Amino acid sequence: MLDHDLHCHSNISDGTLTPAELVARAAERGVKVLALTDHDDMDGLAEARAAAAQHGITFINGVEISVSWRSHTVHIVGLNIDPGYLPLVEGLRNVRSGRGARAKKMADELAKAGIGGTLQGAYRYAENPNMIGRAHFARYLVEAGHCKDVKSVFNRYLATGKPGYVPHQWAALADTISWIRGSGGVAVLAHPGRYMTGRKSMGKQTMRELLAEFAGLGGQAIEVVSGSHTPEQYAEFARYAEEFELLCSCGSDFHGPDESWRDMGRLPDFPLDCRPVWEAWENNA
């Protein structure tokens, strides 16, 4: 079992726990090395780091950046970043800036589909209004009785091509990797398996092109053991890691009790031959 969890969310983005609550849960579940990786925002890191020190957990500064690559949205996790690095701070501010207008459009689309009041409803769930996103809409739609849980809301209304889905331009892959690397961090392709399932998913050839471009731009790792991967996908992405000479990362992608693929920590071991991503910072220490 791995005692590292290098991907999770607090209510600074679309998780439901505060950074301190999240760290307490990780400690309780045996996590020894934790990275908080909120979407497009680093405001939870100081609180999480302080809480981690109290629980005797090693804390890694992280972030998960939303990227538009070709016609796909992909997520790049930055690990061991410096949250004071200005190009990263300013880059993330830009990435966040479109969320308000996007939320308004989503609410308009949902209204056309016969569901009103979602903008105000979603904002009630967004602790950090700058980070309003689909998960906040989903929670409100469950509350209002339109679906039984968050997953069904995505399937019916919010996934690509559904009535409340609004396409959006996120950061460029090259910029994202340069902000992360420039700050001293490691760039990790998050949950690659998710880009290969569902509507508008990429095929194997496109995944190879993405990995080649990612590695060519300085990307160093991919998530192999992810809360949103199946055991078959652990093996599949371990092979991609080997082919593209990438390090392997692991994380639950926990968002909150009751609505995540997986709870924090207790992740299964890497397939053999995986070189763990922490080699990157342990060797530089």
Residue 253 binding Mn ion, by CB under 5 A:
yes
Query: Judged by CB under 5 A, how many residues of this single chain contact Mn ion?
Result: 5
In the complex, the smallest distance separating the C-beta of residue 106 from Mn ion, rounded to whole angstroms, is 15
Decide whether 189 or 274 has the Cβ nearer to ligand AMP. Answer: 189
In the complex, the smallest distance separating the C-beta of residue 223 from ligand AMP, rounded to whole angstroms, is 13
Decide whether 223 or 280 has the Cβ nearer to ligand AMP. Answer: 223
Cβ neighbour number for residue 116 with a 10 Å cutoff: 12
Decide whether 116 or 129 has the Cβ nearer to Mn ion. Answer: 129
CA nearest to 86, candidates 94, 75, 76, 74: 94
In the complex, the smallest distance separating the C-beta of residue 137 from ligand AMP, rounded to whole angstroms, is 8
Positions touching ligand AMP (CB under 6 A) are: 14, 39, 66, 133-135, 150-151, 154, 159, 255
Q: Mark 8-47 with x for binding to Mn ion (rule: CB under 5 A) and - for no binding.
A: ------x---------------------------------
CB 50 within 8 A of CB 23: no
In the complex, the smallest distance separating the C-beta of residue 239 from ligand AMP, rounded to whole angstroms, is 25
Q: Are strands 186-189 and 72-79 parallel, antiparallel or unpaired?
A: antiparallel
| Sheet architecture: strand order including 4-5 | 4-5, 33-36, 58-69, 72-79, 186-189, 221-226, 247-251
Decide whether 54 or 197 has the Cβ nearer to ligand AMP. Answer: 197
CB 259 within 8 A of CB 17: no
Decide whether 5 or 14 has the Cβ nearer to ligand AMP. Answer: 14
Residues 177-206 that bind Mn ion (CB under 5 A): 190
CA nearest to 99, candidates 160, 169, 158, 52: 169
Residue 124, helix vs strand vs coil? helix
C-alpha Rg value of the chain to the nearest Å: 18
Instruction: Tell me which residues touch Mn ion (CB under 5 A).
Output: 14, 64, 75, 190, 253
